[in-house]
Amino acid sequence: MCPVWAERGVCGGGWKCKWIKSHMREVDVPSEDQLAEGYRKELQLVVDEEKQKEYLANAGTTGDMKNEISAEVKKFLMHRKFPYEKSDVFLKYLDDASGEKPQKEPINGEEEKKDNNAAYKETPLKPSEKRRLHISANTPLLAPLTTTGNLPFRRLCTTLGASVTYSEMAMSIPLIKGEKSEWALVRAHKSEEHFGVQISAKKPWEALKAAEVLAHYCPSLNLIDMNSGCPIDLVYRSGGGAALLDQQAKLSKMLRGMSYVSGEIPITVKIRTGCTDKYPLAKKLIRRLIDESDVAAITLHGRSRQQRYSREADWGYIAECSSLIKKLKEEKENAMDTSADDKEKSEPRRLVPYFIGNGDCFSHEDYYKAVEECHVDSVLLARGALIKPWVFEEIHAKQYLDKSANERLAMVEQFAKYGLDCWGSDEMGVNNTRRFLCEYLSFTHRYVPVGLLEVLPPRIQDRPPRFRGRNELETLLASDNYRDWVKISEMFLGKVSEDFKFVPKHKSNSYDAVDAEG
């Protein structure tokens, strides 16, 4: 049975669908040959009108997906026809501020009046006036994850309790150019109520123009996040990602400009402790961001760029940064000594950004320890969610959930259905779904059932030996052999060709460093 047709009543794959027999029928039609008599056999696609009506009623006028732009808009961007009015204004301001302004000739009163009218600029929104962020101790966040943080995986995590989701990291220049592959990362499902887009940029004009075009074509975004912590060599050497940690003045200008052009959409930033282990600089950067930029939230990954994902995250340093933010907040409150500031005092969250911790969160114990002892507002979950997607359920329930092998297999099936719904049920869509499903399994196989552990809580850096599960299915799900992952995919996506091979992008089956953004 085609899962897309079963849900929607119609399959977009049409005759190319791998499960075409489930929505195809043979009918008798009058023969078109005048010399021949009777009827001839003909195949027709079947549309279940009742299911289709029900699906459309639930999907609403905008459908299941959001943040989709048309081919015409992409072509419009490709030909550089988008008027970056706000970006141009702020970039001109930066140029003027960096050098001496040219001396103007004296003008009369009437010309001065016209000049002032033309020079009027819309006042930018303060962080407190922008869209409210849904961040609290009760809202665990799913980190932006390259490759693995795709739409089907985010949908799965949303059903399991993820409150805020992020896109995979999108590069600014391809977004500005309207490249199809990059705009595909921005797509989200309507179930992702609080969805943000993470971008990477190395220069102010890239960041500003990407933020402006996102705000224009995706006005429902909950936030736009600047990734200033990406450790990938290609990004770092180009001057983006973690390289911005050593260029704090430029980063501050970029964030301030993004806030200016983004309208109601809040701007957030993700950073690391520093570029090297010996010289942590997050405290200095946080103080500067609070004083100079208009960010609504700061996410700190408790590792340096040099450290990548090896060794444990430094939550002690995250706690120190949290104490610094609390101190800066108190200083701002003490500085507000006028009656006009009473409203701001009653809403202290407007004074400083939200502070989010990131690194090694693998259970509800890790989560609430971070919130209660390190005093972060929330925690961003990355590899913990990849290995154990139901960690969000555990956080809400405040207890360990020993998922059976059948329950875990049901999540795999759900991922496959979401993948076919996203990429289609034709050969290309099935291949895409299978590849990303195997990427998903390359992480989930590392999960060791709670019922088999001798010591709690489990640590994400632990390397357990191979083990035999409580049944054959549990053993299969724990296999680190990619052939077994392909075998699991065949349960829901059909047989693969004999020459099919899968090499996990992140090599998590050997517990290597993960080149993800979380």
What secondary structure does DSSP assign to 185-215, as a single string? GG-EETT-SSEEEEEE-SSHHHHHHHHHHHH
**Res 296: pLDDT:** 95
Render pLDDT for 213-226 as a digit per residue (tens, 0 to 9): 999 999 999 999 99
| pLDDT reading at 122 higher than 70 | no
| pLDDT reading at 385 higher than 60 | yes
**Res 103: pLDDT:** 44
Which of 267 and 348 is assigned the larger pLDDT? 267
Average pLDDT over residues 137-149: 95
**Res 37: pLDDT:** 66
| pLDDT reading at 11 higher than 80 | yes
| pLDDT reading at 419 higher than 90 | yes
Highest mean pLDDT among 15-29, 37-51, 145-159: 145-159
Ramachandran region, residue 178 (left: φ > 0; alpha: ψ -120 to 50; beta: rest): left
Which of 325 and 7 is assigned the larger pLDDT? 325
Task: Please indicate, yes or no, whether residues 140 and 267 belong to a single structural domain of this protein.
Answer: yes
Task: Please indicate, yes or no, whether residues 52 and 141 belong to a single structural domain of this protein.
Answer: no
Task: Please indicate, yes or no, whether residues 365 and 243 belong to a single structural domain of this protein.
Answer: yes
Task: Please indicate, yes or no, whether residues 207 and 324 belong to a single structural domain of this protein.
Answer: yes
Region of poorest pLDDT, from 112-126, 168-182, 359-373, 407-421: 112-126
Average pLDDT over residues 276-302: 94
For the chain, the distance separating the N- and C-terminal CA atoms, rounded to the nearest angstrom, is 36
| Among candidate residues 409, 400, 402, 389, the one with its CA nearest the CA of residue 477 | 409
Which of 485 and 16 is assigned the larger pLDDT? 485
The DSSP 8-state label assigned to residue 64 in this structure reads S
Task: Please indicate, yes or no, whether residues 375 and 414 belong to a single structural domain of this protein.
Answer: no
Name residue, tokens 């800066």: 328
Average pLDDT over residues 26-54: 77
Task: Please indicate, yes or no, whether residues 428 and 372 belong to a single structural domain of this protein.
Answer: no
| pLDDT reading at 62 higher than 80 | no
Instruction: Using only the alpha carbons of the chain, give its radius of gyration.
Output: 26
Average pLDDT over residues 330-344: 67
**How many C-beta atoms lie closer than 10 Å to residue 138's C-beta?**
11
| pLDDT reading at 517 higher than 50 | no
Cα–Cα distance for residue pair 467/445, rounded to 1 Å: 11
Name residue, tokens 């890790």: 366
518 located within any domain = no
322 located within any domain = yes
Task: Please indicate, yes or no, whether residues 318 and 422 belong to a single structural domain of this protein.
Answer: no
459 located within any domain = yes
Cα–Cα distance for residue pair 394/403, rounded to 1 Å: 11
| Among candidate residues 218, 190, 193, 221, the one with its CA nearest the CA of residue 59 | 190
Give the pair of three-digit tokens for residue 406: 């059948």
Q: How confident is the model at residue 343 (pLDDT cuts 50, 70, 90)?
A: low
**Res 190: pLDDT:** 93
16 located within any domain = yes
48 located within any domain = yes
CA dihedral 229, 230, 232, 235 (to 10 degrees): -100
**Res 336: pLDDT:** 72
Question: What are 40's strand-pairing partners?
Answer: 29
| pLDDT reading at 249 higher than 90 | yes
Name residue, tokens 């072509």: 75
Region of poorest pLDDT, from 1-5, 260-264, 303-307, 480-484: 1-5
Cα–Cα distance for residue pair 241/157, rounded to 1 Å: 26
Cα–Cα distance for residue pair 188/351, rounded to 1 Å: 31
| pLDDT reading at 516 higher than 50 | no
Signed CA dihedral, 126, 127, 133, 137: sign only: negative
| pLDDT reading at 426 higher than 60 | yes
67 located within any domain = no
Longest Cα separation, the chain: 98
List the CATH number of the domain containing 381: 3.20.20.70
| Among candidate residues 355, 286, 319, 326, the one with its CA nearest the CA of residue 135 | 355
Which of 64 and 449 is assigned the larger pLDDT? 449
Which of 343 and 464 is assigned the larger pLDDT? 464
**Res 339: pLDDT:** 46
CA angle 205, 208, 209 (to 5 degrees): 80
Question: Of 157, 218, 230, 374, which residue is the catalytic one?
Answer: 230
| pLDDT reading at 245 higher than 70 | yes
**Res 509: pLDDT:** 43
Render pLDDT for 71-111 as a digit per residue (tens, 0 to 9): 999 999 999 999 999 999 999 999 888 764 444 444 555 55
Cα–Cα distance for residue pair 153/143, rounded to 1 Å: 12
- Is 491 in a helix, a strand, or coil? helix
Q: How confident is the model at residue 59 (pLDDT cuts 50, 70, 90)?
A: low
Average pLDDT over residues 123-150: 88
CB 362 within 8 A of CB 315: no
Ramachandran region, residue 268 (left: φ > 0; alpha: ψ -120 to 50; beta: rest): beta
> 454: buried, middle or exposed (CB in 10 Å: 19+, 13-18, 0-12)?
exposed
SS (H, E, C) 321-345: HHHHHHHHHHHHHHHCCCHHHHHHH
- Domain limits for position 49: 3-31+38-61
| pLDDT reading at 254 higher than 70 | yes
Q: How confident is the model at residue 515 (pLDDT cuts 50, 70, 90)?
A: very low
Task: Please indicate, yes or no, whether residues 328 and 260 belong to a single structural domain of this protein.
Answer: yes
**Res 60: pLDDT:** 57
98 located within any domain = no
CA angle 6, 11, 15 (to 5 degrees): 125
| Among candidate residues 198, 224, 216, the one with its CA nearest the CA of residue 294 | 224
Task: Please indicate, yes or no, whether residues 458 and 432 belong to a single structural domain of this protein.
Answer: yes
Task: Please indicate, yes or no, whether residues 502 and 364 belong to a single structural domain of this protein.
Answer: no
**Res 238: pLDDT:** 94
Average pLDDT over residues 339-352: 55
313 located within any domain = yes
Task: Please indicate, yes or no, whether residues 384 and 433 belong to a single structural domain of this protein.
Answer: no
Cα–Cα distance for residue pair 60/37, rounded to 1 Å: 47
Task: Please indicate, yes or no, whether residues 390 and 434 belong to a single structural domain of this protein.
Answer: no
Cα–Cα distance for residue pair 440/424, rounded to 1 Å: 18
- Is 248 in a helix, a strand, or coil? helix
Q: Is 230 a catalytic residue?
A: yes
**Res 34: pLDDT:** 61
Mean pLDDT of the chain: 87
CB 464 within 8 A of CB 448: yes
Average pLDDT over residues 35-58: 78
**Res 123: pLDDT:** 60
Name residue, tokens 């961040």: 135
- Count the domains in the chain: 3
